[in-house]
Structure 1
Amino acid sequence: MSLNERQQQLLGLLESSGEVKVAGLKETFGVTEMTIRRDLEKLELAGYVKRTFGGAILASKDIAIGDRTGVMAEEKQAIGKAAAALVRENDAIFIDGGTTTLQVARHLKADMNITVVTNALNIAMELLEKRITTVVTGGMALEATSTLVGPGTLETIGKMAFDRIFLGATGLTAKHGFCNSNMYEAEIKRMAIAQASEVNIVADHTKYGAKELFSFAGITDVRRVISSRLPDEKLMQACKESGLELLIAHDNV
């Protein structure tokens, strides 16, 4: 069953947060409540989601916290490969949780002489298999995203300095910048940005134009977006005016 771009974006939001509400989606996409309900019905028929009162959740926790191979899988792999190519020997980097950031870790070369700090448990396991020096932050574990958040995580990150960081995002707009659907994860992203020399956002093209409640960075706060396609003309112009680099990955992974 093919999905249109809005439905792909909607599924991406579910992958990030584990749950969505019709009222919020209506505002996010600027469509009617009936349109959102039809989208959710289609996603449910396809087996991606389970509708709830007022919204929907992912049909399987494996999609939320495991190795998600569904929507935008090839694009995310290409983005991860392009992002990993930016890492240099002796770098100290931070990678936060998410399906696209996981692909960054997967495409790092084994035995690289780098140090990676992460608040994502699945990313830490990936790096250990590659024999890469890995520091895991403390904090409270979120089941839906397999990430560690909270005061302990913020304190750990606040005492570090990163050559470059790689963060996921739920959406990007010219007005609100980069956003995330989870308040606690947005805090982590803000702290990591404050400690970084170079900020990279990895996000497939369905994140363009999407917005969530918690903005964690303006366009001028980020050095580079690594994505699968260029945004529309208006957003691309805003990126150009702010000096935000757009690195487009190709899916020949």
Structure 2
Amino acid sequence: MTMNLNERQQQLMTMLESTGEVKVAGLKETFGVTEMTIRRDLEKLEHAGYVKRTFGGAILASKDATLQDRSVVMTDEKNRIGRAAASLVQENDSIFIDGGTTTLYVARHLKPGMNITVVTNALNIALELLEKRITTVVTGGMALETTSTLVGPATVDSIGRMAFDRVFLGATGVSAKHGFSNSNMYEAEIKRIAIAHAAEVNVVVDHTKFGAKELFSFGSLDAVHRIVCDQEPEESLLAACKENNVELLAATE
């Protein structure tokens, strides 16, 4: 959809393309307008398909964005999340890590030479683990160029034959009503199978995913044990997590 943008909205898009994320509070000060004006701008940009609104701001709307595009967004937050998630892994664990830029940081923070077995459907994560001398099992499947992940019936069949002590999954959206969702139906299917075969389920997301929802849901809130994030969500989602006994591990530092 094409839409005429005023000068402020064009500047908003330039900021988003540069940083990947904007906040309403900061934009209000930058442009010297009311919060309602900024929210209307973001609503217009979202309607045009340019952005995706989040709690307190917006991010670029990039359905199935390439791994390279997503890897430069929220890197500090993802690094903190990855470190916190990796600290949950114990010796002798059998774990599954699915594809994604946040889950890649989980792999990066695993200690070299750990006595664990990691199953993954992500080629870049497998390479990361091999360099750490960690026993790695790569699923079969069809490779997706945009995400470096393996998907499809062969992947589902492979994961369905395993049992994991814990799994680490990424998500494109987390909401009280729709639970955990992803923009790619093949990857959502992998996540559902992994959840069904795990003793402990961890979802790793940065705060921009809170309140967002995608077409393909892969689990309700009560399907997971823990959300590892960089900051707690807004009150309504926080309350929903507590009601569903979902632990929130916020890696703020």
Could you tell me which residue of structure 2 aligns to residue 8 of structure 1? 21
The structure-2 alpha-carbon separation of the partners of 1:231 and 1:32, relative to structure 1 and needing over 3 Å to count, comes to closer
2:175 aligned partner: 173
Unaligned runs of 5+ in 1: 10-28, 42-47, 50-54
- Structure 1 Cα separation of the partners of residues 177 and 70 of structure 2: 30
1:34 aligns with 2:36: no
Q: How many angstroms apart in 1 are the aligned matches of 2:103 and 2:69?
A: 12
CA RMSD of aligned residues (A): 2.8
Matched position secondary structure for 1:209: coil
The counterpart of 1:246, out of the listed 245, 248, 251, is 248
Q: Name segments (4+ residues, structure 1) moved above 6 Å.
A: 29-33, 55-58
Distance of 2:234 and 2:245 partners within structure 1: 17
Q: Deviations over 1:163-219 (max 9, x none)?
A: 000000000110110000000000000000000000000000000000000000000
Name the structure 2 match of 1:45: none
Cα distance between partner residues in 1 of 2:187 and 2:139: 13
Is the partner of 1:141 in helix, strand or coil?
A: strand
Q: 1:3 to 1:118 in 2, by over 3 A?
A: same
Pair member with larger Rg: 2
- Alpha-carbon distance between aligned partners in 2 of 1:214 and 1:71, rounded to the nearest angstrom: 23
Deviation (angstroms), 1:33? 6.8
CA offsets 1:114-172 (integer angstroms, 9 cap, x no match): 00000000000000000000000000000000000000000000000000000000001
Please say if 1:229 is aligned against 2:231. Answer: yes
Aligned to 1:204: 206
Alignment of 1:33-182 (within 5 A): 34-36=44-46, 40=50, 64-66=66-68, 69-182=71-184
| C-alpha displacement of 1:71 | 1.7
How has the CA–CA distance of structure 1 residues 67 and 102 changed in structure 2, closer, same or farther, with 3 Å as cutoff? farther
If asked which structure has higher relative contact order (CA below 8 Å, sep 6+), I would say: 1
AA matched with 1:123: I
Secondary structure, aligned partner of 2:66: helix
Cα displacement (A) at 1:32: 7.7
* TM-score after normalising by structure 2: 0.78
AA matched with 2:196: A
- Number of aligned residue pairs: 215
Distance in 1 (alpha carbons) for counterparts of 2:82 and 2:177: 26
Amino acid at match of 2:44: M
Distance 1:171 1:218 in 2: 12
Closer, same or farther: CA 197–34 of 1 in aligned 2, 3 Å? same
